């Protein structure tokens, strides 16, 4: 697979999400990337094509200032390295549509891609989980469930927490205070 195909995967996903985009930069990068596979299946460092895009919806820039949509692709993995929306564009389903577009795009044309991975902000982890992402570290999932149990006072299926419940119990704030770093997540295609 060549670089042109990698770029096509990313840009076709933007098109399916109805986002306008502008390629800012591309480069190759060798990176440690977490994926939930047998240790012998992938090398420790993987080579990626890395793409920086500015994204627009209805001619408005949707990413936070000084941020780009940075997506890295190789023959087996798509790694979402940066995707921070401005406040006004958050909670409007843009990230969900992008992931669903990627999954559809990959299933139709690029079946050799096996995973999408990302590092979630703690406050966004429930949204990614509802889309279908898994926690890379089982201990992170246990910690999230335990924190929510302590806050709400009962066991709940975190995939079924409503947005109203998340707001009522201030779950996003709780997760931000409890996790100091990003939370790695992945989805198998």
Q: Which domains does the chain have, with CATH numbers?
A: 3-120 (3.40.630)
Residue 176 is predicted with a pLDDT of 96
Residue 13 is predicted with a pLDDT of 93
d(CA 181, CA 184): 9
d(CA 147, CA 63): 30
Tokens of 160: 């079924």
Q: Which residues of the chain have pLDDT under 70?
A: 1-3, 33-44
Residue 164 is predicted with a pLDDT of 92
Residue 112 is predicted with a pLDDT of 84
d(CA 35, CA 115): 7
Residue 111 is predicted with a pLDDT of 83
Contacts of 23 (CB under 8 A, 6+ apart): 7, 11, 51, 52, 53
Long-range contacts of residues 136-140, Cβ cutoff 8 Å, at least 24 apart: 136/34, 136/36, 136/183, 136/184, 136/185, 136/186, 137/183, 137/184, 140/179, 140/183, 140/184
Question: Do residues 86 and 64 touch, judged by C-beta distance below 8 A?
Answer: yes
- Tell me which residue of 140, 129, 138, 151 sits closest to 182, measured CA to CA: 140
Residue 42 is predicted with a pLDDT of 52
Tens digits of residue pLDDT in 154-164: 998 998 999 89
d(CA 3, CA 27): 10
Burial of 80: CB neighbours in 10 Å, binned 0-12, 13-18, 19+: buried
Residue 125 is predicted with a pLDDT of 95
- Tell me which residue of 144, 161, 6, 150 sits closest to 78, measured CA to CA: 6
d(CA 185, CA 33): 11
Question: Do residues 120 and 131 touch, judged by C-beta distance below 8 A?
Answer: no
């Amino acid at each position: 697979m060549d670089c042109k195909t990698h770029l096509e995967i990313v840009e076709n996903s933007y098109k399916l999400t109805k986002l306008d985009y502008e390629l800012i930069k591309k480069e190759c990068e060798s990176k440690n990337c977490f994926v939930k596979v047998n240790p012998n299946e992938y090398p420790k460092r993987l080579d990626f094509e890395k793409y920086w895009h500015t994204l627009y919806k209805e001619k408005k820039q949707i990413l936070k200032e000084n941020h780009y949509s940075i997506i890295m692709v190789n023959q087996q993995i798509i790694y979402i390295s940066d995707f921070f929306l401005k406040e006004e564009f958050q909670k409007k389903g843009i990230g969900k549509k992008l992931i669903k577009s990627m999954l559809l795009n990959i299933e139709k044309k690029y079946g050799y891609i096996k995973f999408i991975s990302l590092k979630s902000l703690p406050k966004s982890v429930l949204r990614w989980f509802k889309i279908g992402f898994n926690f890379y570290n089982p201990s992170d999932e246990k910690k999230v469930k335990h924190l929510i149990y302590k806050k709400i006072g009962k066991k709940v299926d975190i995939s079924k927490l409503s947005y109203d419940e998340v707001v009522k119990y201030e779950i996003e704030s709780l997760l931000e205070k409890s996790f100091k770093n990003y939370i790695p997540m992945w989805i198998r295609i």
